[in-house]
Structures are given as C-alpha cells and as structure tokens.
Structure 1
Amino acid sequence: MDRLQSMRVFAKVVEQGSFARAGDQLDISNAVVTRHVADLEQHLGTRLLNRSTRKLSLTETGQQYLDRVRHILSDIDDADAMAAQSARCPSGTLRIYCHPNFGQTALAPLLPVFAAAEPKVVLDVTLADRPVDLVEEGYDIGIFIDNQKIDSSMIARKLATSSVVLTAAPGYVSRKGEPMAPRDLSKHDCLNHSYEKVRHTWPVQCGGKPVEVPIVSRMVSNNNAVLREAAIAGLGVMMRPSFTLGDDIADGKLVRLLRDHCVGRLGVYMVYPSRRLLSAKVRAFTEFMAKSFPEPDADPWLKSL
C-alpha cells in the first residue's frame, strides 16, 4: 500500500464528500478510491468513515486522523515546492572545496563575480591540501588539480591547463645571474616543494622531452606561501603553476626564467557527484566556471607572464 497516496485519497474523499467525486478529481476509478480508504483503515485497525447510501461522515478517530493528515500533506507539498524552486532558481548554501593554490589565486577573484550574479546563493568555500571525499564531507563542488586523487565515480570536467614555470626575484637574478639553459639550474639555489619526486631533480622540458635536472634545494617546504615569500625575498629559484604568478610578475616582484622551457603542466578540474538532477545552484556555478574557462586545454595565465 502506498500510504501517502492513500492519505491523499482519504483527504480528497472527505473534501468532496463522495468516493466518486474524489475519483474524478484524482483521475482514478471509484474502485481504486474505495481500495485506498479500505487499505488505510485496515492498516490503522480502525474505521475512519461512516458510509451510507446518501452520505459520508467522519468517525471521531477519522476527524483526528484527518487533521494530522492535512498537516502532513501540507508539509510534503511545501517541501516539494521548495525542492522544485531550488531546481529552478539558484539559492541556498553552495559548499565548495578547492585546492589552496588555485583557490587563493585563481578562484578567489571569481567568487565575488558569481555572488553578484546569484544573490540568493551563500558561498561556503573550504581550501585544503588533503584528500577529500566530496560526498562524505557534504561538498557540492570540488576544484582539483592534477596531483590530487579524484574519485572515479565523480564527474570531472576540465577547466584549464596550467604550465609550471620557473621564477626568481630580480634581486636574486642580479646577484646570481640568469640561467640560460635547464642544466644551469644545478648551479642555482632552488626553493622546492617537499614532494619527494621533485626533491632532488626538476623535470624541465627540453625540445618537448622532459630532462631531469639535478638541483640543490636552498629551502624545502610543504607550504607554497612560505616558498613564495622566500622567492620574493631573493632566496632562490622557485617553480610554480602559472595561475599563482600573475600578480607577482606583473608587479615586478618576480621574473620568469627559461621562458622557452616548461617544468610541466597541471590540469585543473571541476568535480561533482552526478550530472543528473543538478540543483540550480550547482548548475549555475558549473556553467559560470565553464564560461570563465572556455578553453580547457589552454593556459589562460601564461600569456600574462
């Protein structure tokens, strides 16, 4: 028995004062109406309606039950309307996870633009450099970069490609000289992320092929902000994704080195649990991000460097 449907049929019978008229309103047969009410009474173990050939009347229990049923049906209708509205109009809290490197430099300037376009959406943004389970942790959207593991059950939409480039402060270049070829990096002080795979060599592209160049680390850190401050202070050469460097190079705090060479490329991905029945707030954000990054295989930041 579909108890909810039986409740709706029961309430409609009382409203119309007739099984037949209730059936007409609900577009079901008189026999089906009768069966719903009978099943409901059997389930409850009590009579809800007194029936005669001329009229229907509620029993005392039936009246009490009807009052509660009407509240329940009203709450359900309100919930349905709210869900339908959220599917049509972006609103509510949008929980976003983002890798901190991308979040602080590339995503942050976009969020006020999205917020202005969607005033009913509250943004709840978390930046964290750790494994994240979007579903378990209740995120609507995740922004990941290539070196993060993405659950294969998720939908991953590529936003952009970021080149990893070499930079140093102008003062450092004046003091130590500018590397003219990848092998020259072995003679320089390097500011290095603590990933084991780049601790002792950097994979610089030479003629389209990666060459592992031995390097000496002047500083190693798992925090990119620490490395950035050290680079700006002139401590050494740093390799960073292009999306983190625009302002520092534009402001003259850092200069790009070995412009004809690239250390690597990172894909940036927008990740969410399902394509089906996306809420309006998620759909609005995914469309906004897709418009913000129209060429997924291009590096939109490199031209400014």
Structure 2
Amino acid sequence: MNQLQSMRVFVKVADLGSFVGAAGALDLSTAVVTRHVADLEARLGTRLLNRTTRRLSLTESGRTYLERVRHILDDLEGVEQMVVARNHEPVGTLRIVAPVVFGLHSLAPVVQSYAARYPDVVPDVTLADRHADLVEEGFDVGILVARHMRSASIVTRRLTTACMTVCATPAYLAQHGTPARPEDLLRHPCLSRPPEQGGEERVFTGPGGGEVRVRPVNAIAANNTEMLRQFALLGMGVGILPSYLIGRDLASGRLVPLLGDYRLPPIEITIAYPSRLHLPAKVRTFIDHLVEHFQPAGEPVRASRLGAPGRPAVASLADADSVAVPELTRRLPDTAHARRTRVAESSPV
C-alpha cells in the first residue's frame, strides 16, 4: 500500500481512537483502514496500537511515530501548497533565451515592463545566437527568429513578424548611385548574414506580384546583424537588415530605405515554451505580456490567449519602409526591480 496514505490513516485512527471512526472520516472501509495500520506495523516491525474490544491506545513506539509523522505530513502539505501557489501566482525566476540582436533591440522593453507589472518574478535573460534546448538547459521561454523548433515536448506559437529592409546611407547613395531594382544590387557591395545564417539567395516580390531572384555579393562577413548595421552606417555598402534593428535609423534619415516597390519574405518571430501541461503562472503571464506588447495598434487584446483555440494574434514589427520601432520604448517605468534583471550573453557581439 501507499506509505504516505498509510501514515495519514494511522494519524486519523490515533486522533479518533477508532478504526471505524477513521474509516468514516476518510471515506474508506474499516477493512482498508485496518490493513493500512497493519502494513505500517509490518514495515516497522513493531506494534503501534494496542487493541482491545472496547478501545485503542498508542504504544510507546506508536506515540513516538505519531509525533514524527505529524511533522512529516505537515511539511508535505506546506510544500504542496507552496508549489500550487507558484503555479497560480507569478513568482520566482523566469529564465528567457532570445537571439542577441532581437533581445537588445526589441525584448528589453518588454522584460522591463513585465518586471514592473510582476515584481515577484525576477527575469533571467540569456542572449544567444544558437539553438537552445529549452528543457535540457532549463529555460522557461524562448524567442525564435526565423527558426523553427520541432519537439514533442516543446510548444511554439507565432508571436509577430518583421521584415528585411534594403537600405544605405545618403552619403553612400550619393557616391555610388541608388539601386532601383533588385538586379541592381549585383553592382553594389551588400551587407547581410552569410549563407549559413540566412544570407542566401534573395527572393523579392515585385509590384505586379512576380518574383525576382538575386544573389547579392557580401562586402564583408559578419555573424551578427548589429555589426552589419554598424558597417551600413559607415557607408560600406547596401544593407539587407531586419526592420526591428534599423527602425530608428530609418526614422532619423541615417539610413534610406531602398527598393520600395519590392518586398522580401517576412521574418517569423516565435515563442517557444515547454509543454502546456501545468504551465507556471510566471510563464503564462509573460507569454500573454509578450503578445499584448506586440499587438497591432487598434486590435483588441484577447483574453486567456494560451487556452484559446484558433490562431494566436499576429502582429507586424514594421512594414517594409515604415518602421515604428521607437514605439518599443513606450510605457517603461524606471523601477528598482527592473534593475534586478540579470542578463547573460553567451554569443559573439
């Protein structure tokens, strides 16, 4: 029989002084209650109760065992209540992993506003441009940019989309000319990720809906898009960069958007987390907060998103040439708790 259940039965018998009374209180048969106590005595090799036809009494060993068992059961109940509370109230450390550039330019404001809303949760952010095993590495939530995670133990949902924007500095364009069609990129040094990191052939959709395929020649290799942005700002070539990275540069005129009649495929940004089963409140509320943050302006926020059927809400970080990335800095209270957030970067910058 279950040892913990036998302990609970023994305590109830001792408290009520009756097998019949304990059976009624626990909604068990008298035979089952008797068997639980007998099994305990057999396991311990000692008698716990003295039985007569009229009454029960504890033996000396029974009194000692009862005292210790009460403490064990009380501690167990306390642990269970603590775990239940953690699953229903946002509390504890929230481990998040995200790509470096997206994390620096788009995730930081979300984490700060979440920390202000839920002060009992301490975000622990790791930035890494690599595949992270959420379960093995102990992450609660992962953000994926242009990558898919296939695992029976991982749940993914689309968060939002961004776009790739062709751009250059005004000084570069004045010196080298302005590309008018995707084919013109072949005459310019380009700044984009190397082939193994998404810098392969570019497929543009033209104004008439037709496809134009070009394979630009990179001016310089870099495995980090922030570095490519810096090269673009230095006038080293034409950048093909994500909108969430260069929104402020476009808004200020430091970079000029190009090929406005052509569009590149959008970048899908996805949330990943281990299993919907018994999802802790800190994870559930953070995912809801992410979705709320990237919700398109004017679209109502859906309640209970994690349990709702159908497609999740999808937002766009920016249109091809009109990027509202400065909005990512909205509503960011400066709280002492926000400064407790720990960021560990484990990738090249």
Q: Paired residue for 2:290?
A: 289
Unaligned runs of 5+ in 1: none
Q: 1:94 to 1:170 in 2, by over 3 A?
A: same
1:22 aligns with 2:41: no
TM-score under structure 2 length normalisation: 0.81
The residue number in structure 2 matching 1:215 is 216
Distance 1:209 1:80 in 2: 61
Q: Partner of 2:323 in structure 1?
A: 304
What secondary structure sits across from 2:220 in the alignment?
strand
CA distance in 2 between counterparts of 1:281 and 1:200 reads: 38
1:252 and 1:9 mapped to 2: Cα distance? Answer: 76
Residue 199 of structure 1: how far off its partner (Å): 5.4
Give the alignment's Cα RMSD to 1 decimal.
Answer: 2.0
Instruction: Tell me what 1:276 maps to.
Output: 277
Over the matched positions of the two proteins, sequence identity in percent amounts to 45
Structure 1 contact 99–129 (Cα < 8 Å) conserved: yes
SS in 2 for 1:147: coil
Change (3 A) 1:152 1:251: farther
d(CA) in 2 for partners of 1:195, 1:68: 66
| CA distance in structure 1 between the partners assigned to 2:153 and 2:27 by the alignment | 41
Please state how far the C-alpha of 1:130 moved relative to its aligned partner. Answer: 0.9
Shift of 1:10: 0.8
Which position in structure 2 is the counterpart of 1:32?
32
Which structure has more strand as a fraction of its residues? 1
Distance 1:200 1:11 in 2: 70
Distance 1:192 1:220 in 2: 8
TM-score (norm 1): 0.92
Matched, 1:46 2:46: yes
User: Partners in 1 of 2:273 and 2:200 — Cα distance?
Assistant: 36
SS at match of 2:119: coil
1:237-276 equivalence runs, <5 A: 237-276=238-277
Equivalents in 2 of 1:297, 1:205: separation in Å? 21
Q: Deviations over 1:98-123 (max 9, x none)?
A: 12232111111111111111111110
CA deviation map 1:115-140 (0-9, x unaligned): 11111111011111111111111111
2:149 and 2:156 in contact (8 A); partners too: no
Report the Cα distance in structure 2 between the residues aligned to 1:75 and 1:197, rounded to whole angstroms. Answer: 52
Write the deviation string for residues 148-180 of structure 1: whole angstroms up to 9, x where unpaired: 544354211101111111121222122222211
Amino acid corresponding to residue 71 of structure 2 in structure 1: H
Query: What is the rounded CA distance, in whole Å, between the counterparts of 1:300 and 1:192 in structure 2?
Result: 19
Alignment of 1:1-305 (within 5 A): 1-151=1-151, 153-196=153-196, 201-206=201-206, 207-294=208-295, 296-302=313-319, 303-304=322-323
1:41 alignment partner AA: E
Aligned residues: 305
Q: CA deviation at 1:186?
A: 1.2
Tell me, which stretches of 5 or more residues in structure 2 are unaligned?
297-312, 325-349
Consecutive aligned runs of 4 or more in structure 1 exceeding 6 Å deviation: none
Contact 1:96/1:125, CA 8 A, preserved across alignment: yes
Q: CA deviation at 1:279?
A: 1.0
Distance 1:252 1:152 in 2: 46
Deviation at 1:197, TM superposition (A): 7.5
**TM-fit CA distance, 1:209:** 4.0
For 1:272 and 1:200, how far apart are their aligned partners in 2? 29
Task: Work out whether residues 182 and 259 of structure 2, in 8 Å CA contact, stay in contact via their aligned partners in 1.
Answer: yes
Contact 1:131 / 1:148 at 8 angstroms: preserved in 2? no
